Amino acid sequence: MGWLAWERFRCNTDCKNDPENCISERLFRSMADLLVNEGYASLGYEYINVDDCWLEKERNAFGQLVPDRQRFPRGMKSLSDYVHSKGLKFGIYQDFGNYTCAGYPGILGYLETDANTFADWSVDFVKLDGCYSHPLEMDSGYPEFGYYLNLTGRPMLYACSWPVYQIYAGMQPNFSSIVTHCNMWRNFDDIQDSWASVESIMDYYGNNQDGIVPNAGPGHWNDPDMLIIGNFGLSYEQSKTQMAIWAILAAPLLMSVDLRTIRPEYKAILQNKKIIGVDQDPLGIQGRRIYKHKGIEIWSRPITPLYQNYFSYAVAFVNRRTDGTPSDVAVTLKELGYFSYAVAFVNRRTDGTPSDVAVTLKELGLASPTGYRVEDLYEDVDYGVLSPQTKIKVKVNPSGVVILRADVQADYNRRVPFYTTQRTVYNPLNQVFRIRNNNF
């Protein structure tokens, strides 16, 4: 979790005419201050990440990267030290190519040199893009750079663009290797400041989830890209939807927004503790789209706490329809599966009329006979403990979402202890995820 410059500030290097918004140490120091002073850091947003366009056009005489001398006059070690002085972590960008995407020096030929440079600068997060490189070389190049990062002895989170460039090239990425060598990776297009872009990412992850979901787990994450909440392209309802779906996807939460000017209602979405709690759930199981019909979608994710073989749930209902008519949704247990999740109801309609969605907990896969405590995470409504036979009905605004958390309850009458964690859990993906620390 943290803040990233790219989507909001792009490659603005005009510090003469736009000093407040150009890619410079001034911008990153300001955002570090706001991350702490406005309460983001206390909620888990801990990274301040520099993206492209921070470099001089040439390396120095020793082959080392040099930050732009005008925009970063005190250098990257000074900026890193400032970020660390705030109790935050510092991230930086490079590219596995001859050049970065914006045309600055890439990493090819300098993998060990750049890894040592980043360690010397006390970097905590390295994003390695894939412009100006050959996708075939990524299978060896990305692991090699990870090796040099590890060799420095400094823990650095390693974010790879490895699979997306191979997918663009028509290749099948080796996800066994990617999961082993990277902490997070991109699968799809860069996010843009629009609802259409968010929808395209949702569709990609939903349509390809059988191949994507099994790769995610603690220490290794699919990355659907940045949160654009609080910028220009999303309405309030659409912003709530992005936050909810990213939480269901167990996505890294990297904001790319001007924290100096964000409106309070959008700040509240980004600071929703309960949805952040779903996103950061320690099981690390990525959720799925479990229902899609006429613009209504249901996304769900298994979360803690656990009781016997039952997960708790988060559920998101999404309305993506545009025809102007409220809709009832009925689904069967067979269609949804037999497991516990966090669930999001998504309305992808844009007709101006909320849609009604009515399902029983059992139809959502919540089958524990001990029941579930159900809570609406945006409206902050606690529905109490409900049985699997209980029918719940929600109204989902156009291009909006309702996200519910259902915590499985212990059978207190039998005095069975209620464990919130266990070493091995029954996984709906037929895979046991193990907690791993990838120290890059």
Catalytic residue annotation:
129, 190
The answer to whether 164 and 186 are in contact (CB under 8 A) is yes
Q: Distance (Å, rounded) from C-alpha 237 to C-alpha 187?
A: 25
Q: Distance (Å, rounded) from C-alpha 381 to C-alpha 21?
A: 40
Closest C-alpha to 349, from 293, 301, 393: 293
Task: State both tokens at 387.
Answer: 């049985």
Residue type, 230: G
Pairing of strands 342-347, 400-408: antiparallel
The answer to whether 48 and 127 are in contact (CB under 8 A) is no
DSSP secondary structure letters along 228-291: -TTSSS--HHHHHHHHHHHHHTT---EE-S-TTT--HHHHHHHT-HHHHHHHT-TT----EEEE
For residue 355, the surrounding DSSP H or E stretch is: strand 355-360
Q: What are the residues whose beta carbons fall under 8 Å from the beta carbon of 83, sequence distance 6 or more?
A: 28, 32, 48, 89, 90
DSSP secondary structure letters along 161-212: -HHHHHHHTT----HHHHHHH-SEEE-SPPP-SSHHHHHHHHHHHHHTHHHH
SS3 content of the chain, % helix, strand, coil (to 5): 30, 25, 45
The answer to whether 355 and 347 are in contact (CB under 8 A) is yes
Closest C-alpha to 403, from 255, 269, 264, 210: 269
Q: Distance (Å, rounded) from C-alpha 311 to C-alpha 339?
A: 7
The answer to whether 422 and 311 are in contact (CB under 8 A) is no
Phi, psi of 144 (to 5 degrees): -65, -45
The answer to whether 398 and 428 are in contact (CB under 8 A) is no
C-alpha atoms less than 13 angstroms from C-alpha of 247 in its C-beta half-sphere = 36
Distances (CA, A) of 5 to 23, 59, 65, 76: 8, 23, 20, 15
